[in-house]
Amino acid sequence: MLSATGWGTLAGGAALTTVGYAFGYGEAAALGVTCLLAVAVAFGWALPAPVLGAERRIAPSRVGRGDPAEGVVTLTNTGGRTRRGLRAVDRCGDRDIAVDVPPLPPGAAHELRYALPTARRGRVPVGPLRLERADPLGLVRRMRPYGAPDTLLVRPRVCPLPVLPSGQAHHVEGPSSDSADDGSLTFHALREYVLGDDLRRVHWPSTARTGTLMVRQMVDASLPHTTLVLDTRRRAYAAEDDFELAVDCAASIAYAAARHHFPVHLVNETGPLLHTDGAGRDGEALLDGLAVVRRSDAAFLATAFDGLDNHRGGGALVVVTGTADTPGLSGVERVRRRFDRVTVLRVGAGAAATRDESGPVSDVPRLRVASLDELLAGWRREAAR
């Protein structure tokens, strides 16, 4: 295809040639013919398709917001002559990323690396990869796609937080996953022996009956449960960056609980978003789910608490909201007695991470947070309280 320069050269050459021959201007005609020949030679230069192998991968394919991610392209010249003038162009989101390719001798391979944008959460489509070959004057270029599109998942940023102590969880069934932490208070189930298990927990009757060494799995019935209300209403946040910080805060709190194999229930004003039961990779699932959470046009936060009226009791309730619209926080009063501990995070730029006891529920701790560093400091104080 012709570049903008190529189209200009072609149009100028045609006009000069026509005017030169029509009015007898030999110099104009010669210049016009030269322009047309340059375009013809450029087509001949770019026409042969390069015989190349191309492979692109994203490293890593999942990344926290603002963390580095790279596209890695490996090009191999499978033809019989050196290839020059190549450029790799990869589509990332709504923009192109172009990287020049050095001359590739026959059989040679070269690895290209380029940064991918990670400033915003979400699924970022990457590709398809295109290889462009242009003539030295930049009049004509040939493009050829390679491979299939890929996806970069930009997840929320997280900071390491402690889990808030929240009393007993008022149930004795224990976690539903064998990968959950062992306790010492309540019998949960029998399972096969794993190297390192305490031999004092071997259940000999079951071992004799099945022929397999079986042990008792004990759980701690007081393991904290975390219920997280994330306010995603557009009107609750003064700026887009405030909402992104709120999602980062929610992700940090949820990930801290899931990392310790504690159940997490996440809701917003439209209903349940995510639920985990303490399995081994719950933290990764929570981050993947929060990567695609978007702002809503809902008017009231109080609807987020409707589904908590029937909460069986216990655990911690954490509400993450902004600083722009607060009347919906009165819904905390309706459900607070069903939880052992309630904390409200007010997220907004310029706020200080201090306890704020004002508002619809005066005796519920309310932290004002303007950065993840402030969340970490305020959360540690809250956990020690």
What is the pLDDT, as a whole number, of residue 186? 53
Q: Residue 264 in contact with residue 226, Cβ under 8 Å?
A: yes
Query: Residue 40 contacts by C-beta under 8 Å, 6 or more apart in sequence?
Result: none
What is the pLDDT, as a whole number, of residue 260? 85
Q: Is the pLDDT of residue 56 over 70?
A: yes
Sign of the CA dihedral running 195, 201, 204, 209: negative
Single pTM value for the model = 0.74
Cβ burial of 5 (10 Å; 0-12, 13-18, 19+) is: middle
Q: Residue 199 in contact with residue 214, Cβ under 8 Å?
A: no
Strands 366-369 and 341-347 come out as parallel
Q: Is the pLDDT of residue 124 over 90?
A: yes
What is the pLDDT, as a whole number, of residue 182? 47
What is the pLDDT, as a whole number, of residue 304? 85
What is the pLDDT, as a whole number, of residue 332? 84
Once rounded to an integer, what is the mean pLDDT over residues 61-67? Answer: 94
Residue 170 or residue 280, greater confidence: 280
Query: Residue 114 contacts by C-beta under 8 Å, 6 or more apart in sequence?
Result: 70, 71, 73, 90, 97, 99
Segment 286-324, tens digit of pLDDT: 999 999 999 999 888 888 888 787 766 678 899 999 988
What is the pLDDT, as a whole number, of residue 201? 85
Segment 219-238, tens digit of pLDDT: 555 557 899 999 999 999 98
Report which of 385, 363, 369 is spatially closest to residue 320, judged by C-alpha positions. 369
Strands 62-64 and 150-155 come out as parallel
Out of 89-98, 187-196, 203-212, 351-360, pick the least confident: 351-360
Report which of 88, 85, 84 is spatially closest to residue 99, judged by C-alpha positions. 88
Q: 128 vs 48, 50, 61, 104, CA distance in Å?
A: 21, 17, 16, 22
Q: 122 vs 37, 44, 117, 291, 338, CA distance in Å?
A: 49, 43, 11, 5, 34
What is the pLDDT, as a whole number, of residue 180? 42
